[in-house]
Amino acid sequence: GAGVSQTPSNKVTEKGKYVELRCDPISGHTALYWYRQSLGQGPEFLIYFQGTGAADDSGLPNDRFFAVRPEGSVSTLKIQRTERGDSAVYLCASSLTSPGNTNNSPLHFGNGTRLTVT
């Protein structure tokens, strides 16, 4: 079946601009995650959705970053007033885990959006 889809695969923007990154999770997956990965580093957590609500947004670096998942499926990560330091690969993942499950399901990652801020 189809995996997690992220668009665009590459995005180049100028400093100060606004960008939106889209994630289409695996159908039926209730949990959705955004991570950010810089060169040579492992993925760093940004935000986690359970259904439509953000269950944990503790990884968002500042208020320029915002994410939504209005219908509990597709999610959009929004970055305002982009800075060169925002350049990274933004990864989205989804899983079947529901609240109260004792055995967490593995995360299924997309291939990411490579964001370059010039």
Partner 1 sequence: LAKTTQPISMDSYEGQEVNITCSHNNIATNDYITWYQQFPSQGPRFIIQGYKTKVTNEVASLFIPADRKSSTLSLPRVSLSDTAVYYCLVERYGGSQGNLIFGKGTKLSVKP
3-state secondary structure of 97: coil
Pick between residue 16 and residue 88 the one whose CB is nearest to partner 1.
88
Q: Smallest distance, Å, CB 67 to partner 1?
A: 12
Q: Smallest distance, Å, CB 59 to partner 1?
A: 7
Q: Smallest distance, Å, CB 101 to partner 1?
A: 7
Pick between residue 70 and residue 99 the one whose CB is nearest to partner 1.
99
Q: Per residue in 107-116, is it b (16+ CB within 10 Å) or e — as a string?
A: bbbbebbbbe
Residues that bind partner 1 (CB under 8 A): 4, 31, 33, 35, 40-45, 47-48, 55-56, 58-59, 91, 93, 95, 97, 100-104, 106-112
Sheet containing 65-68: give its strands across.
5-7, 19-24, 75-79, 65-68
Residue 84 sits at φ, ψ, to 5 deg, of -60, -30
